[in-house]
Homo-oligomer: A and B are copies of this chain.
Amino acid sequence: MASYTIQDINHVLKGELIGNTTQKIDGPEELQKAKSNHISFIGSTKYVKYWTDSKACAAIVNDNITVEAFDNRAIIKVKNADLAMAKVLELFNQSPPIFETDIHPTAVIHKTAIIGKGCKIGAHCYIGKNVELGDDVILYPNVCVFDETTIGNHTTVWSGTVIRERCIIGSHCIFHVNVSIGADGFGYRPSDDGRGLVKIPQIGNVIIGHSVEIGANSCVDRAKFSSTIIGDGCKIDNLVQIAHNSVMGRYCIMAGHSGLAGSVTLGDGVIIGGSASIKDHTTIHSGATVGAGSGVMNDVKAGETVLGYPAQDARDMLKQWVMMRKLAKQ
């Protein structure tokens, strides 16, 4: 594990070093759990009280917060402690799990698959016919990639994830564990005898851009026809559902347990809060935000923030919530 001096760290952060510490710093830790070889963070005044008794040898502090350095315990003042924290985490980022061999002998790889340079393919992976992996793709053990799917350079796929046939995945993506890409969309028609339902074939695929991250146990269904599309730079949390024929622009964020019903369109930079759901065939325009827990039943304008179930303009919803509390107390 890496170890740094306080000077090394401030060299990266370019903050104001107050006091000094001769401790070697082995990693970040919360103020109350820290040992003397840890650096910590004070991004809000509510953490100030823990500094005096903390064993941390250093703290990174927002420059609008007053904290003193102590004997052999230093302060680095920065404009944005959150951003500084991210940079410190990059310093201490540990190497990922090792691969003893680039392509594990238990992986089953179809002879027609094209595997780029520097790929690592773990134990018990399955790679189907005509799959194409770019360079430096990492598949951890127990990943399945089905026929004709292509994956771009430097994409990492964690164990248990399944990518079905004919999907197109960009470069520098990360798919976490047990993700499901390209399963059939949910579509049925009444059977001809009127008793029950007949499956509508889902003959489309999934197209995922570059630098997309998809959280554990999330699902992106293939399109009925054409494609379900996730734009460059989208970040999707755990247990998220993206139904068939939805189209996401670039740099959208979807938090845990949120979902897009079929044929939803998101513009660029849309933020969907945790557990929020979007009705099918709805459009959320660029820069809009959907609050946590919302149920969106209508289109949302660019830049608008909606909230509630059913979702409406967030300020209106907050007013409703206040009004209801007042009325119930009368």
A277 — which chain B residues lie within 8 A by C-beta?
A: 257, 274-275, 292-293
A196 — which chain B residues lie within 8 A by C-beta?
A: 211, 232-233, 250-251
Give this chain's copy count: 3
Please give the distance in Å from A326's CB to the nearest CB on chain B: 10
Are B235's CB and A189's CB within 8 A? no
Are B261's CB and A255's CB within 8 A? yes
- A178-B217, A186-B255, A275-B259 known; A92+B158 contact, CB < 8 A: no
A197 — which chain B residues lie within 8 A by C-beta?
A: 233, 235, 251, 253
- A126-B123, A226-B33 known; A183+B203 contact, CB < 8 A: no
Closest to A39 in B: B225
Within 8 A of B (CB), among A198-215: 198-203, 211, 213, 215
Which of A11-19, A70-78, A96-104 touches B? A96-104
Type the 1/0 row for A129-170, where 1 means its CB is closer than 8 Å to any CB of B. 100000000001110101100000000001110101110000
Separation of A293 and B176 alpha carbons in the complex (Å): 27
Please give the distance in Å from A94's CB to the nearest CB on chain B: 6
Most chain B C-beta atoms within 10 Å of own C-beta, residue among A106, A177, A187, A327: A177
A186 — which chain B residues lie within 8 A by C-beta?
A: 215, 235, 237-238, 255-256
Check if A24 is an interface residue, CB within 8 A of chain B: no
Check if A320 is an interface residue, CB within 8 A of chain B: yes
Are A226's CB and B30's CB within 8 A? yes
Separation of A164 and B201 alpha carbons in the complex (Å): 28
